[in-house]
Amino acid sequence: MRVFIQSNPLWAVFVFLALQLSSAAAFSHRAFDMNLYSNGACLYVNGSSKDTSLRFEFSGVRQPTALVVFQYDDIIAFRNLPNLNYFLNHSYILDKPILGFDDETDQLGFSLISRKDFDIPESILATLVLSDKEVDYPIENDGVYCIYMPLYKYNETLVLPQAHYNARVTVKNETMPVNIYHDISTHISLSIVFGLGLVLMSLFHPAIGQGKLTQLPIVTRYIIYFFIVNFVYNSLYFILELICTYFPNDALYDFTENFYFRLQTGVIDKFQLYILILVYLGYGYAGADVKINTKLTTTFWLANTVSRIVTDYIYTDVNTLIDITLLEEKYSILYNSVILPGGYKKSLIRSMDPRGKGIVSTFSLIQVVSESLFYIAITYYAFKINKYWKTKGETQMKKYIYKSIIFHLFIYKFALKYVALQISTITFGGFFDVGELLKVLGNLIEIYEMKVISLNVIEVFILWLIWGVNKPLKPDGTKKKEKEKK
């Protein structure tokens, strides 16, 4: 065997990779931060083993910081352990405090009270963190677990811990990522959507099947590229996740979720904006003499793309963040399985040092301003091109840009998409039950993500219906000049 491996480098690489895959069959990818502004969370665990645990890494601790970890189903055993919604609004501090000071010793301690006929569960962790340290909480069973870092009063005065304390929470050694099957299902569905889109377009553009895309007009060509890129991206995505299910490996899954995932928001979504540059800066025409500052508009697009990539890198842990409304209150969902206070991303910024806040604020501002200027620019040039063809009397040429202004910019971009996004937001009513919510949330978020991406597909499809031609668009005057030269 040794001789065979030495004489076959590819086999050696395969054996090495197989050993790496088999030696890392545990996942520790779910991590989030808790601090003064985000001091409560619940999460769903569905892949526990004897080694699974919650790891708390405390830093910046200057005053006693309380930590309570418990199984959500055990909350019924307590008289003064509030549900997550009441904990986050701090009503427990006055009504049913979790901590208090002993009248004789003046020492801070927990005052958890069990209900009649209930004992305090042994699985609960209630401790005071007095310095920077690590705390481990073993997870023995699947289910929903809640983490509270309660506030307390001293002589009727609310005591606030140091504003910059932070607890990094990591779910260690899960046998399988909790939402991986939902992700696989989502990307298979998206692969089918983009694949069918390509099949439909190939019926109208034979060049696709012939591998002669360069013969198509540039707008048509890039719309087809958009479908090809998305089809390949989503197909590779679910293949990578399938590999993770059969060969569990934390490093491969981290690459998929923290690097490969960013291609969607940082590159592919911005590729869609580039198609708008081609449409509204006149690249769909041949022979149009319109003065357009392409460098300025491209600069706006480039600034927006770069700022998005930078902010995605800074917010690596919140790339999967989704906001939901539950009983008219805002909450943040992370990894499709962790519920946090609404505005979780803002809480991270508030806990940063001044330099970090400045970097985040700068690039976030660049992203917002550049996108606004981008849409202002393409709208302006769209009307300029429309006026140009109207002045030239080229009715046939004018209809393409005119349809884009009406059906894409006005009806879709500024009206229909906004309404659709409002309809597709995730909203819950009824009784507040974190346990039931987290168990069904994966399916609901999968549907939500499909709706959002479908809106992007509809946008590009609208542009294809208008600009999807097989030959360059040339005005009559240009065609006459060509005939005279011949």
To which residue do tokens 């601090």 refer? Answer: 35
Is 337 within the bounds of a domain?
no
Are residues 87 and 49 part of one domain? Answer: yes
Q: Tell me what pLDDT residue 125 has.
A: 94
- Shared domain for 35 and 106, answered yes or no, is yes
Residues 158 and 248 in one domain: no
**pLDDT per residue as tens digits for the range 386-445:** 999 999 888 889 999 999 999 998 888 877 766 666 665 677 766 778 888 888 887 888
pLDDT given at position 423: 60
Q: Which helix (H) or strand (E) holds 307?
A: helix 294-314
**Domain identity same for 363 and 221:** yes
Residue 221 lies in a domain: yes
Domain final residue pick, 151, 172, 193 = 172
- Decide if 395 is inside a domain: yes
Count of domains for the chain: 2
What domain range is 124 assigned to? 31-172
Note whether residue 290 is domain-resident.
Answer: yes
461: number of Cβ within 10 Å: 17
Whether 249 is in a domain gets the answer yes
Residue 477 tokens read as 């005057």
Mean pLDDT by 10 residues, the chain (486 residues): 41 43 59 90 88 93 90 91 88 80 76 86 91 93 93 70 79 84 88 94 91 90 94 93 84 80 80 91 84 90 90 74 83 90 82 79 92 93 92 90 92 74 68 82 82 86 92 69 51
Contact 73, 144 (CB under 8 A): yes
Residue 420: the pLDDT is: 66
Q: What share of the chain is helix, strand, coil (3-state, %, to 5)?
A: 55, 15, 25
Q: Are residues 410 and 375 in the same domain?
A: yes
Same domain? 243 vs 163? no
Instruction: Give the per-residue pLDDT at 17.
Output: 46
Domain stops at, among 128, 145, 172: 172
pLDDT at 158: 67
338 belongs to a structural domain: no
The CA–CA distances, whole Å, from 389 to 79, 108, 131, 186, 292 equal 75, 78, 72, 44, 14
Q: Do 423 and 445 share a domain, yes or no?
A: yes
- Domain co-membership, 404 together with 434: yes
d(CA 40, CA 45): 17
SS3 156: coil
CA torsion, points 94, 96, 98, 103, in degrees to nearest 10? Answer: 70
pLDDT at 43: 94
Q: Which of 434, 436, 180 is nearest to 331 (CA)?
A: 434
47 located within any domain? yes
User: What pLDDT was estimated at residue 7?
Assistant: 43
The verdict on 241 and 158 lying in the same domain is no
Residues 194 and 161 in one domain: no
- 147 with 250, same domain: the answer is no
Q: What is the per-residue pLDDT for 157?
A: 66
- Contact at 8 Å (CB) between 329 and 342? yes
Show which of 172, 201, 219 is a domain's final residue. Answer: 172
Q: Are residues 163 and 184 in the same domain?
A: no
Q: Domain for residue 115, yes or no?
A: yes
